[in-house]
Amino acid sequence: MSAGELEPIAPHEAVEMYHDAMLDEHAESTRRSEKHRLRAFVQFCDEHEIENLNDLSGRDLYRYRTWRREGQGDDREPIKLVTLKGQLASVRRFLRFAANIDAVEPELYEQVTLPTMKNGEDVSDSTLAPERAIEILEYLERAQPGSRDHIIVMLLWRTGARSGAIRGLDLRDLDLDGSHPRVSGPAVHFVHRPETDTPLKNQDKGTRWNRISEKTARYLEDYIEYHRPEVTDDHGRKPLITTKYGRPAGNTLRKTLYRVTRPCWRDESCPHDRDIDTCEATHLDHASKCPSGRSPHDLRSGRVTFYRREDVPRRIVQDRLNASEDILDRHYDRRSDREQAEQRTDYLPDL
């Protein structure tokens, strides 16, 4: 198609169309991530007076790469290489869509080159060590048994599920007495329900039953009977994890993890030599600023490490956590090289 056959459209309008098209095939978390990344691209176009996406050139794309790398946009400070790679990958995907709606030349996306990452450079090394996760859970079992905090940490740790999957659980998804014919024992059922605001990361492929222990089932019963507000969400469903208003926002579980993983929360001394009376991380809204604070993703990686240390077969871990072997190896398994070498010796009888 020649440039004269392109149909004029403002960058922000094309981006809005792209977001709308994603509704058909992508989870809400993916759409939110793309929207965040492309916000900077729209800002770049505004600042450089690119009012018609038809006029976007390879030279503009190179300038955008430099502009973002140097921290222009919302960040206003240089960004990491892995962040830049993610931002450019989003622009590539958007430009392929833009070509389909006759907004840019079909080959333009190829002029967005992605930076080459060194080994491990695109993988976060943050994790919650299994020992710490177990200590925090045991503390909650003693100090706040059956509380919402306890249930959130317990389900994240015991199932290894993503926080979005835990948030999406309804009361009907629990089989606490083990009566379901397809599952022998207590279990929880993760179900993809995008039409009522609880999608799973891998959509229908993420729908699965996860066994839980009798002890976990009893804590869930206590939570439901004594601590769970009797509310429904905006869609008339009865969520397991609730606030007094209904189903919690996705960030609620994340804030919970950051809060309970701070050592001072358990009255431990600060390992970072901070004054507890003046440390801003002691405030609930700033708990993530504690260097020891960890996210649900970090707890999930700690769970994978725990499973691998216990020699749980990879296939079992993949199925339970609903993640591919490559993703588990690259992003979740935090065993040291020495740990992995020592475990391999158990299967090498001639050493």
- Which of 143, 300, 261, 169 is CA-nearest to residue 224? 169
Distance CA 191, CA 299 (A): 21
Torsion angle of C-alpha atoms 251, 252, 254, 258, degrees rounded to 10: 130
Q: Which residue has the tokens 């659980």?
A: 169
- Which of 171, 138, 132, 130 is CA-nearest to residue 154? 138
To the nearest whole percent, how much of the chain has pLDDT over 90?
54
pLDDT at 101 (0 to 100): 94
- pLDDT category at 307 given cuts 50, 70, 90 is confident
pLDDT at 122 (0 to 100): 41
Structural domains of the chain in order of their starting residue, each with its CATH number: 11-111 (1.10.150.130), 130-298 (1.10.443)
- Which of 199, 154, 190, 174 is CA-nearest to residue 296? 154
What does pTM read for this prediction? 0.65
- pLDDT category at 69 given cuts 50, 70, 90 is confident
pLDDT at 1 (0 to 100): 42
pLDDT digits over 98-112, tens only? 999 999 999 999 898
Asked if the model's pLDDT at residue 4 lies above 70, the reply is no
pLDDT at 95 (0 to 100): 95
pLDDT digits over 37-60, tens only? 899 999 999 999 999 999 999 999
Contact call for residues 309 and 335 (beta carbons, < 8 A): yes
- Which of 220, 283, 225 is CA-nearest to residue 255? 283
Question: Mean pLDDT over residues 294-306, rounded?
Answer: 88
pLDDT at 348 (0 to 100): 45
pLDDT digits over 212-237, tens only? 999 999 999 999 999 999 999 999 99
- The residue type found at 243 is T
- pLDDT category at 276 given cuts 50, 70, 90 is confident
The tokens for 246 are 């209904």
pLDDT at 323 (0 to 100): 78
Q: Which of 8-12, 145-149, 317-321 has the lowest mean pLDDT?
A: 317-321
Strand order in the sheet with 208-211: 174-175, 187-190, 208-211
Distance CA 333, CA 302 (A): 7
To the nearest whole percent, how much of the chain has pLDDT over 70?
86
How does the average pLDDT of the chain come out, rounded? 85
Residues 188, 186, 129, 338, CA torsion sign: negative
The tokens for 15 are 């981006």
**Rounded to the nearest 5°, which phi and psi values hold at 227?**
-125, -20
Highest mean pLDDT among 184-193, 313-322, 338-347: 184-193
Question: Mean pLDDT over residues 198-208, rounded?
Answer: 90
pLDDT at 73 (0 to 100): 61
Distance CA 309, CA 322 (A): 19
Asked if the model's pLDDT at residue 7 lies above 60, the reply is yes
Asked if the model's pLDDT at residue 250 lies above 70, the reply is yes
pLDDT at 319 (0 to 100): 85
pLDDT digits over 105-159, tens only? 999 998 988 876 554 444 445 788 889 999 999 999 999 999 999 999 999 999 9
Distance CA 258, CA 126 (A): 13
Highest mean pLDDT among 233-237, 281-285, 303-307: 233-237
- Which of 39, 64, 58 is CA-nearest to residue 109? 58
The tokens for 19 are 């977001």
